Structure 1
Amino acid sequence: MENTASDYSMRVSMLSSSSKGNATYIETPKQKILVDAGFSGKQIENKLAKIGRQMQDIDSIFITHEHSDHIKGLGVLARKYDVNIYANEATWQAIGNKCGHIDPLKMNVMEQGEVLTLGDIDIQSFAVSHDAADPQFYAFQKDNKQFTMLTDTGYVSDRLRGLLSNSDVFLIESNHDLDMLRMGRYPWSLKQRILGDKGHLSNDASALAMSEMIGDHTKRVYLGHLSEENNLKSIAYQTNLTLMREHGLGVNESFTLNETDPVEPTELYTL
């Protein structure tokens, strides 16, 4: 039986996560939040319906950066629904007219390093290293529980590892298999971009970062933003599983390792 409106802390669902599109849903008893809108408005409505939720109930949308796999449906949703949107100033400038007209009254600025309280939840923004104007991701905090989103980054700094460690739930980028990328059909310039400090985390890098951030509170780790060209779910999962266990982590014992999907939402998980 699903918990009633007041007896849970936070729920999350990765509506979809891949190199083609990204959207994540977070709710508390008082807030319903979407992070990124990397699909058409209709697709996002359909994805929410699959977990029993509706776009008209969303209070806020948080944008991580201006790449199309994170903002594709933003303009449509902004015009159709009465929803506040948050991004930093450089990201708003980079979005420009890509999403068509958005009501300036709905365009809120949240800079890197800020903590914003909305109703019963705190949102911490933090910088990542990616080839966008000013990319930032978010950690959601309520009742001493934390859901951390960390994708679209070329590396995880020591500062971030300290800031985000011991979260209850992580969404971590596991973008590519190193051998598949190196042997694949991408031009060398694109391979260099993906492998660089402003690119994406490989399966190996994901496992290494998580080995230094998982703590006693951690219950779930989701592998996200997989490349459709240079990765497979099975490879990402097995690589992370093997390397995490090599680092002494109790994978699928003290916490579970979970996949995300480019099309289907993950179950609505209660922290």
Structure 2
Amino acid sequence: MNITTIASGSTGNCIYVGSGDTHILIDAGISKKRIEEGLMNSVGISLKDISAILITHEHIDHTNGLGVVLRKYDIPVYATQETVQEILTIGSLGKMQSEHFNTIRPDEFFHVDDLRIKPFMISHDAANPVAFRLEDKDRTLAVLTDLGRYDDYIMENIAGADAILLEANHDVNMVQTGSYPYYLKQRILSDKGHLSNENAGKLLSGFLHDKVRHIVLGHLSRENNYDMLAYETVRTEIMSADNEYKADDFPIHIAKYNCVSELIEF
């Protein structure tokens, strides 16, 4: 299995996951051109090779390029019914055929070729948002962004994964002292907002196990975070946690918001 982020951040999100001849996008929140260039530059494929697009939720930074892609390519899209309904009402996406969309339900597995996929619920201010657990015959990947909090349910759904892409969206102090209006600060910091660097580190401290191969920190805010701040904060939380693992035991990568990140194979 392999993964790369074509874009990951508050301005747009698109993640590639591959397994054998199966090629999946998770979200399409950037332009078709950027998606195509990212796929070609990172894995040498084009949008016509994509097996499916999984949509976590309807917010525009996750759907901005979807309409253009679907008007050019006949790619099946998987999302919850509530998410599909919201997407079809977003005027800026243009006209889309409902036949492209396949509805999924949290906690019910579905298959895309040789990938077994489980959507699971997350706490975010969207219609019915989900994260994804993806499994092939050898490996498991968890992709988990846009959540204001985590709990035992989340931990159960990511348990044992060989790799994880996890949101480390913001530094709490930067949000509190920054220029955002009060209502937006409250949204970001709420249980239906985004996961802070500190909480990402705490989540990872409870997730770590002997077979973890890669950790990717994603969906970093351009205004309220820095790559190294997220990286060091997460490492500090892992080092201070009451478990046997240290931050140097696992490779920790940072997903870029404005360019394709390295292709990770595991």
TM norm structure 1: 0.93
Task: State the superposition RMSD in angstroms.
Answer: 1.1
Contact map agreement 1:37 1:71 (CA 8 A) in 2: yes
Pairwise CA distance, 1:268: 1.8
Q: Deviations over 1:104-123 (max 9, x none)?
A: 22111111111012221101
Residue number in structure 2 paired with 1:39: 30
CA distance in 2 between counterparts of 1:107 and 1:220 reads 31
CA distance in 2 between counterparts of 1:190 and 1:68 reads 16
Pairwise CA distance, 1:250: 2.5
Q: Does 1:24 align with 2:15?
A: yes
Residue number in structure 2 paired with 1:252: 248
Residue number in structure 1 paired with 2:180: 186
Pairwise CA distance, 1:42: 0.9
Pairwise CA distance, 1:103: 2.2
Residue number in structure 2 paired with 1:53: 45
Residue number in structure 2 paired with 1:4: none
Contact map agreement 2:32 2:69 (CA 8 A) in 1: yes
Pairwise CA distance, 1:124: 0.6
CA distance in 2 between counterparts of 1:172 and 1:84 reads 25
Q: Deviations over 1:75-119 (max 9, x none)?
A: 010110121011111001111232222222211111111101222
Q: Deviations over 1:2-41 (max 9, x none)?
A: xxxxxxxx11111111111100001111311001001011
Note the residue ranges of structure 2 that are not aligned, 5 or more in a row: none
Residue number in structure 1 paired with 2:159: 165
Q: Does 1:118 align with 2:98?
A: no
Residue number in structure 2 paired with 1:127: 121
- Which structure has more helix as a fraction of its residues? 2
- Of 13, 18, 43, the residue aligned with 2:4 is 13
Pairwise CA distance, 1:215: 1.2
Note the residue ranges of structure 1 that are not aligned, 5 or more in a row: 1-9
Pairwise CA distance, 1:211: 0.6
Pairwise CA distance, 1:203: 0.3
CA distance in 1 between counterparts of 2:15 and 2:189 reads 25
> After TM superposition, which residue ranges in structure 1, 4 or more long, deviate above 3 angstroms?
none
Q: Does 1:73 align with 2:94?
A: no
Pairwise CA distance, 1:228: 0.6
